[in-house]
Chains A and B, each alone.
Chain A
């Protein structure tokens, strides 16, 4: 199993450009989420999804769109990039336990470092 795969690893954008950060998982995890990590601010939740067709906002959703058409993929879209979106982005998943509850453990991807000039 590859686990949680994020692409690209690095990206440089100009202000106003759009792009999509990809997150794919092969563990059949129902829960997927996106975090951004900024110096001195820890990890902040952008959006999350508890299954195909279901998404919800986290702490810092403005400027980002998500959709979940399959269990495996959870792309994060920046429609008009701004310098304030310069950050490291992590995708993280959670599996459902044998009794149907959502296990607490987060599985992280390797991250995407995004710079917006």
Chain B
């Protein structure tokens, strides 16, 4: 079946450094790729998304890139801050109704 692989599972960076999280999807028909941030004990919150007809999207310190040929997409966070510490999930929309989520990356920003 369809799957999404996410790496790394944990990531520690110094405050002010950049963080990159990578995902690979298997369903070549996937056309929408969101990223969610989940703080401890909270619900997942959408932070950025990208559609398959776009290669890159940026929103302040956060950017997402998509390589359709390689079926890779990545989340880039620049100038990291302690409040960026959370678990981040990538996902791919397979068909119209089913999201396939990655297994999550725990990001720790060290002050």
The answer on a CB contact under 8 Å between A108 and B43 is yes
- The interface-forming segment of B13-21, B62-70, B98-106 is B98-106
> How far is A43 from B44 in the complex, measured between Cα atoms in Å?
10
Would you call B9 an interface residue if the criterion is a C-beta within 8 Å of the partner chain's C-beta atoms? yes
Cα(A100)–Cα(B65), bound, Å = 28
Q: Are B9 and A43 in touch, CB under 8 angstroms?
A: no
Would you list which residues of chain A between 65 and 95 have a CB under 8 Å from chain B? 90
Tell me what chain B mostly uses at the interface: helix, strand, loop, or mixed. strand
Which has the most chain B C-beta neighbours within 10 Å: A56, A59, A105?
A: A59
Give chain B nearest CB distance to A24 CB in angstroms.
Answer: 15
Instruction: Select one of B44, B45, B49, B102 contacting A104, CB under 8 A.
Output: B49
Which B residues touch A31, using CB under 8 A? 97
A106 / chain B contacts, CB cutoff of 8 Å? 34, 44, 46, 99
Q: Is the interface of A mostly helix, strand, loop or mixed?
A: strand
- Report how far A43 CA is from B4 CA in the complex, Å: 11
Task: Give chain A's interface residue range (CB within 8 Å of chain B).
Answer: 20 to 34
Report the nearest B residue to A109, measured CB to CB.
B43
- Tally of contact residues, B, Cβ under 8 A: 24
- Closest B residue to A4 by beta carbon equals B43
Q: Which residues of B contact A50 (CB under 8 A)?
A: 97
| Chain B contacts for A102, CB-based, 8 A | 96-97
* Closest chain B CB from A22 CB (angstroms): 16
Contact A48 B97 (CB under 8 A): yes
- The CA of A78 and the CA of B9, in the complex, are separated in Å by 31
Q: Which residues of B sit under 8 angstroms from A58, Cβ to Cβ?
A: 98
* Least distance between A48 CB and chain B CB atoms (Å): 6
A56 to B49, CA, bound (A): 26
* Contacts known (A108-B43, A111-B43); A56 close to B9, Cβ less than 8 A: no
Contacts A43-B44, A90-B44, A109-B43; A104 near B93 (Cβ below 8 A)? yes
